[in-house]
């Protein structure tokens, strides 16, 4: 267990280059199994979720090594189709391995996946999609067993544009016989990144980023060198950091268009937002203004993964704001924690009504999930006094050294592992 101590009263300013994308890297790591030749990944983030995915790949027999900042995954040695229970239980994205393991070995055996507790997260759309491709799936004793021979292409109509299900079906379809068409597919930029990776490996995929994705199966892929896209959620988090602390932050090495909906909100809050081709500067102009209405939606709507961080900002904005969470049914656990810091909010089902206060006050709070934890860091930076965030290891699932990034911008976050100051430990 890790506690983070956040010192309040910071004004974040400066330039940061954003990490590689967690949500792009995880399905790409799963996809390395399909190529059967070494893959060199650049810009793969060093975060707990990616480390867990690599541990699972190793347990399946893949060889994984780092060369400087590059990560090399060689799946030629992979031999196992049984996913380890404990590791997969910690990582929801282990579900992506179902499609790629099944495609590679004609068989897969996986426990139900874990991940953030942000609501009941079923995998029915994943399983239904794989069944459409002719996999035989049995769910028994907390495990999922799939068998398939060579999968067969099909039309898959998703009831909901699930990001994970779209990606899993794409992975399973790459080596299937014939054409697979995914309709009502999710359109997130990370799906485009997965498509770009798969193409670099010789697979035939097109349409990602739009609601219909078409995959023409080929027998085998090949090795590739690929740069993972920048993380739009981490970028957005640091931009909100500028707004909430009255600061001035430039995030570089990113894709500004992928966070347009956030940029509109930051402008509506009164921030000055300047975009270039690969950077965004957010300059606060005094206290943020409340925003009448924001609701989360699948891309290109406002991302659910930035809802908690926006929640923190609106908690100190001038006026009332309404935030509706449409994607996950239980993603307001940070609301209660923010109240410990003297925030004012009311939750009615999927709607939060937030009345901005002049100042939050440091308190002891719990990071219930990854993005909720990041929201508490931002709140702590803007608060008076010190905030102690319990279970901050959950933040490390998706942010690469957030404490150092914030330190470089002039804020102070100290990580304590089992009560030991990590800075002292390294000295």
Is residue 116 part of the annotated active site? The answer reads: yes
* Minimum distance of ligand UD1 from residue 395's CB (angstroms): 14
Q: Supply the DSSP string of 280-347, one letter for each residue.
A: EEEE--SSPBP-SEEEB-STTSB-GGGHHHHHHHHHTSBSEEEEE--S-TT--HHHHHHHHTT-EEEE
SS3 content of the chain, % helix, strand, coil (to 5): 35, 30, 35
* Minimum distance of ligand UD1 from residue 385's CB (angstroms): 31
165 touches ligand UD1 by CB under 6 A = yes
Among 6, 254, 327, 402, binds ligand UD1 (CB under 6 A): 327
Nearer to ligand UD1, 8 or 398 (CB): 398
164 touches ligand UD1 by CB under 6 A = yes
Phi first, then psi: what are they for 168, rounded to 5°?
A: -65, -40
Site for ligand UD1 in 189-228 (CB under 6 A): 190
Closest CA to 411 of 117, 31, 9, 10: 10
162 touches ligand UD1 by CB under 6 A = yes
> What is the b/e burial string over 72-95, where b = at least 16 CB atoms within 10 angstroms of the residue's CB?
bbbbeebeebbbbeebbbbbbbbb
Cis peptide bond prior to 384, omega within 30° of 0? no
125 touches ligand UD1 by CB under 6 A = yes
Nearer to ligand UD1, 164 or 221 (CB): 164
Closest CA to 241 of 8, 4, 2, 11: 11
Parallel, antiparallel or unpaired: strands 136-140 and 143-147 = antiparallel
157 touches ligand UD1 by CB under 6 A = no
168 touches ligand UD1 by CB under 6 A = no
Among 3, 16, 23, 36, binds ligand UD1 (CB under 6 A): 23
Residue labelled with tokens 């090594």 = 65
The residue range among 159-167, 314-322, 400-408, 414-422 that interacts with ligand UD1, by the rule CB under 6 A, is 159-167
Among 6, 26, 192, 228, binds ligand UD1 (CB under 6 A): 26
Closest CA to 402 of 380, 426, 424, 427: 380
Among 19, 32, 88, 93, binds ligand UD1 (CB under 6 A): 93
* Minimum distance of ligand UD1 from residue 126's CB (angstroms): 5
Six-digit token string for 242: 């500028």
374 touches ligand UD1 by CB under 6 A = no
- Residue of 44, 62, 116, 201 marked catalytic: 116
397 touches ligand UD1 by CB under 6 A = no
d(CA 106, CA 95): 16
- DSSP state, residue 401: S
Nearer to ligand UD1, 101 or 360 (CB): 101
Nearer to ligand UD1, 109 or 369 (CB): 369
Give the number of other Cβ atoms within 10 Å of residue 42's Cβ.
Answer: 13
Six-digit token string for 359: 């100042």
121 touches ligand UD1 by CB under 6 A = yes
175 touches ligand UD1 by CB under 6 A = no
- Name the residue with the smallest CB distance to ligand UD1: 164
Among 71, 123, 187, 341, binds ligand UD1 (CB under 6 A): 123
The residue range among 4-12, 61-69, 157-165, 275-283 that interacts with ligand UD1, by the rule CB under 6 A, is 157-165
* Minimum distance of ligand UD1 from residue 119's CB (angstroms): 6
* Minimum distance of ligand UD1 from residue 421's CB (angstroms): 31
The residue range among 1-9, 119-127, 223-231, 277-285 that interacts with ligand UD1, by the rule CB under 6 A, is 119-127
Query: Do residues 323 and 307 lie in contact, with contact meaning Cβ atoms separated by under 8 Å?
Result: yes
- Residue 249 neighbours by CB under 8 Å, 6+ apart: 12, 13, 14, 15, 16, 238, 239, 241, 242, 281, 282, 409
Binding site for ligand UD1 (CB under 6 A): 23, 26, 92-93, 121-126, 160, 162-165, 186, 190, 304-305, 327-328
**What residues are annotated to the active site?**
116
């Amino acid at each position: 267990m890790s506690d983070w101590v956040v010192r309040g009263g910071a004004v974040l300013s400066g330039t940061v280059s954003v990490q590689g994308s967690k949500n792009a890297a995880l399905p790409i790591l799963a996809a390395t199994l399909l190529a059967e030749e070494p893959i060199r990944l650049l810009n793969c983030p060093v975060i707990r979720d990616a480390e867990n995915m690599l541990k699972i790949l190793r347990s399946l027999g893949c060889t994984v090594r780092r060369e400087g900042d590059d990560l090399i995954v060689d799946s030629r040695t992979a031999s196992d189709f049984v996913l380890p229970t404990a590791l997969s239980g910690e990582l929801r994205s282990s579900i992506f391995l179902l499609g790629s393991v099944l495609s590679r070995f004609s068989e897969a055996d996986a426990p139900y996946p874990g991940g953030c507790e942000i609501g009941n997260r079923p995998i029915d759309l994943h399983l239904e999609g794989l069944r459409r491709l002719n996999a035989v799936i049995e769910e028994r004793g907390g495990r999922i067993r799939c068998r398939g021979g060579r999968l067969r292409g099909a039309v898959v109509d998703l009831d909901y544009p699930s990001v994970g299900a779209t990606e899993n079906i794409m992975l399973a379809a790459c080596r299937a016989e014939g054409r697979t068409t995914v309709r009502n597919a999710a359109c997130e930029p990370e799906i485009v990144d997965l498509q770009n990776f798969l193409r670099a490996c010789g697979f035939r995929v097109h349409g990602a980023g739009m609601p219909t994705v078409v995959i023409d199966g080929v027998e085998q892929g090949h090795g590739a060198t690929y740069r993972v896209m920048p993380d739009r959620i981490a970028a957005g988090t640091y931009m909100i950091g500028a707004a909430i602390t009255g600061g001035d932050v430039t995030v570089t090495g990113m894709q500004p268009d992928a966070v347009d909906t956030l940029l509109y909100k930051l402008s509506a809050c009164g921030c000055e937002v300047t975009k270039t081709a690969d950077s965004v500067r957010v300059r606060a102009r005094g206290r943020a203004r409340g925003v009448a209405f924001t609701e989360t939606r699948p891309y290109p709507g406002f991302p659910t993964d930035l809802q908690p961080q926006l929640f923190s900002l609106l908690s100190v904005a001038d006026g009332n704001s309404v935030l509706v969470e449409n994607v996950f049914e239980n993603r307001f656990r940070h609301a209660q924690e923010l109240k410990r810091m003297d925030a004012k909010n009311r939750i009615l089902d999927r709607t939060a009504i937030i009345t901005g206060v002049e100042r939050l006050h440091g308190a002891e709070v719990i990071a219930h999930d990854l993005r909720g934890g990041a929201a508490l860091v931002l709140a702590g930076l803007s608060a008076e006094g010190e905030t102690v965030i319990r279970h901050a290891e959950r933040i490390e699932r998706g942010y690469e050294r957030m404490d150092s990034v914030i330190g470089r911008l002039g804020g102070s976050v100290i990580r304590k592992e089992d009560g030991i100051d990590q800075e002292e430990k390294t000295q």
